[in-house]
Amino acid sequence: MSTFRDLFSGHAGEYARYRPTYPAELFAWLASQAPARDLAWDCGTGSGQAAVALAELFARVIATDASREQLSKATPHPRVEYAQATAESPGLRDGSVDLGTVAQAFHWFDAPKFFAAAAAALKPGGMLALCTYRGARVSPEIDVLELDLYGNILGPDWPGERKLVETGYATVVIPPPFVECAAPTFTLSARWTRDDYVGYVGTWSSVHRHRARTGVDPLAPFERAIAPLWPGNEARDVRWDLSLRVMRRAS
């Protein structure tokens, strides 16, 4: 991508409310790999989930996003500085960042320009982590219905960049001066009601594109289909496997 495509500002409030949170263990491990804990940068911060978690581990966090509306819904924290900026031009001082994170946003970036900006911003030995997840797991019967909605009903409405998420960023080529590092596996988890789960599905960019393209709300039949499988709106465990690409800026 060469220009910012704002696919989420129109439902920034829903995005802030219904997206799952990342495990504390992820940020603890990333912080342990950083050369220091002076400054972390969360790029494409959205509602600030990762930024606030990083603020518990770093003296200062700069959280950037190109969407002003997303930033207006971000969670405040005394050690987090939110700034409107693109991933490719974050406005950071060269060689200042110990850890850079991108949580569920890298696929929207111009990759070569972002990597160049990150290489400039990171200290020698600084770390960069690209995180993504897909495919919530509730039960086999509900998971099949979600997969049908995702691929068969909403397939034409997903932007092409979504293919990077479907591969877990496995096809992303890591350029110099970055050297890829091995990473543990992590799982996102939430304790959600059926309404929470449907609200999460409603934040998908493809749902909004489908409504605009067809005039039909794809969530209504989906919710009717899962209602007998999830009666009473009781809370259930929902899980996502996290894909993680971690790299260190060579000295």
Mean pLDDT of 52-78: 96
Residue 14 is predicted with a pLDDT of 62
Burial of 110 (0-12, 13-18, 19+ CB in 10 A): middle
Phi, psi of 63 (to 5 degrees): -115, 115
Alpha helices in the chain (DSSP H): 12-18, 24-33, 49-55, 68-72, 111-121, 140-148, 162-166, 194-201, 205-214, 219-226
For the chain, domain boundaries: 9-136+160-189+240-249
Task: Quickly state the pLDDT bin for 111 (edges 50, 70, 90).
Answer: very high
62's tokens? 């700069």
Task: Quickly state the pLDDT bin for 19 (edges 50, 70, 90).
Answer: confident
The model's pLDDT over 138-176, given as tens digits with 9 standing for 90+, comes to 999 999 999 999 999 999 999 998 999 999 999 999 999
> How many angstroms separate the Cα of 123 from the Cα of each of 29, 41, 221, 247?
18, 12, 50, 13
Which residues are paired to 13 by β-bridges? none
SS3 234: coil
- CATH tag for 9-136+160-189+240-249 (out of 3.40.225.10, 2.60.40.3080, 3.30.70.1560, 3.40.50.150): 3.40.50.150
pTM, rounded to two decimals: 0.89
Residue 223 is predicted with a pLDDT of 96
